[in-house]
Amino acid sequence: MPTPNILKHYPIRFLSVIDKMASNFKVKQAFDYFLVLDFEATCDDKVSIQPQEIIEFPCIKVNAQTFESEKVFHRYVKPVYRPQLTPFCTELTGIIQDMVENENNFIEVFKDFDIWMKEELLEKEKSFAFVTCGDWDLKTMLPSQCRTSNCNKPNYFNSWINIKRSFSDVTGTWPRGMIPMLRQLKLKHEGRHHSGIDDCRNIANILKGLGQRGYIYRLTRH
């Protein structure tokens, strides 16, 4: 079969044939685990909210060899500067005021996540890579939130895999979003779009779908 990272040279109509060939072709990924992450943040359709704040922090730990989900970190976060969610934000994300009202602020949730990272990966000296749908989560939103909250961003957030680029490597086409990727891979969309945890589950399915085609993941952002 073709080597995994040159699949982009093959028309999409041949992918079903490649899928069957890849089912018996096990490849060794460069990481022990993938961490699928997708933030949701305060937003409005009438004005630009500044500063924008993370209100949902989900992360799924996926075994890089089996592509099975093993652990989940999931917290809702109470925004500080705009504590009242807008109707648009609730309609888009499905996050209602009660879901964030009595939750911790970002600094506390961020501390919990760092503890989770140490227990699950860092202390066990496991290699890992974050996986996002686009670069916004770790290139834009997290650095902005850390500046807003006046806290340090751990170095393990400095690199990640943009699943859109991985998808492009396999199919030769740049995806317009998560839903088109699922559709093209013939995967069912689960849950609610723009729910952070549901988006993570769908991104994890895309991650698995491409991996089962023999794709070897590499960092797309350092």
Residue 174, Cα to own-chain centre: how many angstroms? 17
> Which active-site residues does the annotation give?
40, 194
Bridge-partner residues for 61, per DSSP? 35, 71
What DSSP letter does each residue of 78-142 carry, written as one string?
Answer: --SSS-SPPHHHHHHH---HHHHHTS--HHHHHHHHHHHHIIIIITTT--EEEEESSSIIIIIIH
The candidate with the shortest Cα–Cα distance to 42, out of 170, 145, 146, is 145
